[in-house]
Amino acid sequence: MDPLTLLLILFTLPLLSLFFSFEFKRFISPKKLPPGPFAWPFIGNTVLSVSEGQLHVALADLAKKYGPLMMLKFGLVPPLMVASNHVAAMEILKTQDKACSGRNVAHSVQVPGYIQHSMVWADCSEHWKMVRRIWRTELFSTKMVDLQTSIREEKVRELLWFLRRKEGQIVQLSDAIFGCIINVLGSIIFNQNVYDYEGKVDDNEKGMKGMIRQLMVLAAKPNLPDFYPVFGPLDLQGIRRTTAECVKRMNEYWGGIVKERRASKDHSRNDFLDVLIQADFTDAQIDALLLEIFGPGSDTSSCTIEWAMSELIKNPNKLLKLQDELNQVIGQSKDVSESDLENLPYLHACIKETLRLHPPVTFLLPHRATETCEVMNCTIPKDSQIFVNAHSIQRDPEVWEDPLVFKPERFLNSSVDYQGNDFHYIPFGAGRRICPALNMASRATRFILASLIHNFEWSLPNGMKPSELDMRDAFVLVLAKTVPLSVVPRARSSLSNVV
Ligand code: HEM
């Protein structure tokens, strides 16, 4: 090659890449796009340094510089819009709810046989409406949640029995709570426990608990095709293949139960599986539905309770106040029942405050603009991915007094609620895609927390002081504690016989 051609190539390559770069499009775009850091050609903002599990912190820092609606670009996929205050959240989840309620489907979940029946990853299609209707009427309507009370009471009693047997020993609370939650779900769906408190750790890891956790870990892994779709078919990291294997094992887990039910023709149990079978759901539809109950339903609730326990242990005066409320309303020698919940405002305030500081679904589930629309006078191009940063919004110093302090009192005599009408407080989301299990999740988290606090005194292992408790968080699909909470339970004497 002669030197002149080489020189020409060396000059034209950078110019060409700049021409195709996102920054160029941003520059020539007739409509205003949201501000954001400079995006390099082909790689975009992939160079941003984010410590492991700290995406929520990195995005909050960037929002301080670029504002409440900013745009980032990763690889060769449509841009990511990040909403970081209540105004941006309201425009996305209310004003532009229709245009912004699609889903961005991660490569790892594009598992044949599952994805076409998914509700979580579907746009707001007829299929999505039909499945949400089933959830609303047959699973988590107020009437159904009332009917499930005895199941939750029984499953919580099993949890308390287990903890009673562990008296004086160190317990990793998240595992036990996770077990209780998935047993509640298993009993509601097909009348069976899916977690064995006394089972070998290995067996539980191979069972439902391990499979759900594995799916979470896989979904949280950065995956090349999510940035460069051209690599999709290669699945170089094997994330989709491993996800498909895990989904298959879960389907096999309940496949036997489904088969047996279909064969028996006895649908008198009236659990959710009977409802699905009688409504002529196919096996593949049932598989997808059950996966989407156990998946989003377990870690979200269990990490909320784990955070609430951590905050209460860290703040002994708040813990005392909650114990006082429980003693006064329920009595020192009586067990908590679900009907007590409506008379326990401080308990409710503790859960609300926990969900404010530690929203498990930190950015909501990723939304997608199904059409080009306008938010805060900026253009959101069709197919943009949208994160609503509940973590930033619920710690916004412009809205919340002492935003970083655990202060349940702020919710007493306040009308602020998580039903999706207050856009500065959206732990369950808002609009079309609001969590369909909100009612039951609210009830279950309050009930489990009340039972743990009312039945036991809790201390930290090895003489650790409450002030030394590690409260760091990490975003791994849910906002989890970096160091899981280990505690030592002691049954409260007046309740020893009840537990
Ligand atoms: C404290 C507990 C929970 C919290 C904080 C929570 C929060 C959320 C949030 C923020 C979303 C996303 C909303 C959006 O994308 O705009 C969501 C969606 C969802 N949640 Fe929950 N959730 C909890 C418990 C549960 C439970 C127990 C279940 C099932 C048993 C569940 C099932 C779902 C499903 C299926 C979706 C997807 C809805 C859709 O795409 O239309 N969640 N949840």
Atom 7, ligand 1: which residue's CA is nearest?
428
Q: Are the C-beta atoms of residues 48 and 71 closer than 8 Å to each other?
A: no
Give the relative orientation of helices 239-264 and 208-220 as an angle to the nearest 10 degrees.
Answer: 150
For 8-17, the pLDDT digits (tens) are 565 565 555 5
Question: What one-character DSSP code corresponds to residue 246?
Answer: H
How would DSSP label each residue in 88-122?
HHHIIIIITTTTT-EE---GGG--TTTGGG-STTS
Q: Residue 377 class from Cβ within 10 Å (0-12 exposed, 13-18 middle, 19+ buried)?
A: exposed
Q: Find the mean pLDDT for residues 318-331.
A: 97
264: confidence class by pLDDT, cuts 50, 70, 90: confident
- Kindly list the distances between the CA atom of residue 482 and the CA atoms of 54, 176, 213, in Å, as whole numbers in the listed order: 11, 17, 15
Predicted local confidence at residue 429, as pLDDT: 98
Predicted local confidence at residue 395, as pLDDT: 98
Q: Residue 109 class from Cβ within 10 Å (0-12 exposed, 13-18 middle, 19+ buried)?
A: buried
Q: Are the C-beta atoms of residues 108 and 218 closer than 8 Å to each other?
A: yes
Q: Are the C-beta atoms of residues 208 and 247 closer than 8 Å to each other?
A: no
Atom 25, ligand 1: which residue's CA is nearest?
297
Predicted local confidence at residue 496, as pLDDT: 47
Q: Find the mean pLDDT for residues 152-177.
A: 96
Atom 10, ligand 1: which residue's CA is nearest?
428
381: confidence class by pLDDT, cuts 50, 70, 90: very high
Q: How far is the CA of 214 from the centre of ligand 1 (A)?
A: 19
Q: Find the mean pLDDT for residues 199-217.
A: 84
Q: Are the C-beta atoms of residues 305 and 313 closer than 8 Å to each other?
A: no
Mean pLDDT of the chain: 92
Residue 219 Cβ < 6 Å to ligand 1:
no
Is 435 annotated as ligand-binding? yes
Predicted local confidence at residue 499, as pLDDT: 43
Q: Are the C-beta atoms of residues 462 and 468 closer than 8 Å to each other?
A: no
d(CA 60, CA 387): 12
Predicted local confidence at residue 35, as pLDDT: 96
d(CA 86, CA 423): 5
Q: Name every residue whose Cβ is closer than 8 Å to that of residue 440 and which is 6 or more positions away in sequence.
A: 139, 140, 145, 148
Residue 160 Cβ < 6 Å to ligand 1:
no
Atom 20, ligand 1: which residue's CA is nearest?
435
H/E run at residue 159 = helix 149-165
- Kindly list the distances between the CA atom of residue 227 and the CA atoms of 46, 159, 283, in Å, as whole numbers in the listed order: 9, 43, 33
d(CA 5, CA 11): 10
What type of residue is 369? A
Q: Are the C-beta atoms of residues 136 and 471 closer than 8 Å to each other?
A: no
Higher model confidence: residue 220 or residue 443?
A: 443
CA 390 to ligand 1: nearest atom: 10
In this prediction, what percent of the chain has a pLDDT beyond 70?
92
- Residue 352: closest CA among 459, 291, 424: 424
Q: Is the pLDDT of residue 498 over 50?
A: no
Predicted local confidence at residue 120, as pLDDT: 97
Predicted local confidence at residue 298, as pLDDT: 93
Give alpha helix (H) positions in 358-412. Answer: 390-393
Rg (CA), the chain: 24
In this prediction, what percent of the chain has a pLDDT beyond 90?
84
H/E run at residue 487 = strand 486-491
Q: Is the pLDDT of residue 387 over 60?
A: yes
Residue 201: CB atoms within 10 A of its CB come to 10
Q: How far is the CA of 435 from the centre of ligand 1 (A)?
A: 4
Q: Is the pLDDT of residue 401 over 90?
A: yes
Predicted local confidence at residue 48, as pLDDT: 75
d(CA 23, CA 219): 29
Q: How far is the CA of 30 from the centre of ligand 1 (A)?
A: 37
Give the relative orientation of helices 149-165 and 438-455 as an angle to the nearest 10 degrees.
Answer: 30
Q: Are the C-beta atoms of residues 338 and 153 closer than 8 Å to each other?
A: yes
Predicted local confidence at residue 332, as pLDDT: 85
Q: Is the pLDDT of residue 350 over 60?
A: yes
Predicted local confidence at residue 5, as pLDDT: 65
Atom 9, ligand 1: which residue's CA is nearest?
428
Predicted local confidence at residue 459, as pLDDT: 97
Residue 392 Cβ < 6 Å to ligand 1:
no
Residue 310 Cβ < 6 Å to ligand 1:
no
Predicted local confidence at residue 214, as pLDDT: 93
Atom 26, ligand 1: which residue's CA is nearest?
297
The structure tokens listed for 273 are 């599986």
Greatest Cα pair distance, the chain, in angstroms, is 93
Q: Find the mean pLDDT for residues 450-462.
A: 97
Using DSSP's 3-state secondary structure scheme, residue 202 falls into helix
For β-strands 373-375 and 80-83, DSSP reports them as unpaired
Lowest-confidence pick of 71-75, 195-199, 281-285: 195-199
Lowest-confidence pick of 42-56, 94-108, 402-416: 42-56
d(CA 267, CA 269): 6
Q: Find the mean pLDDT for residues 179-186.
A: 97
Q: How would you classify residue 371: left for phi > 0, otherwise alpha for psi between -120 and 50, otherwise beta? A: beta
Q: Find the mean pLDDT for residues 377-394.
A: 97
- Kindly list the distances between the CA atom of residue 460 and the CA atoms of 298, 338, 430, 468, 489, in Å, as whole numbers in the listed order: 25, 28, 37, 10, 9
Predicted local confidence at residue 1, as pLDDT: 64
* Ligand 1 site-directed mutation target among 56, 300, 449, most atoms within 8 Å of CB: 300
Q: Is the pLDDT of residue 47 over 90?
A: no
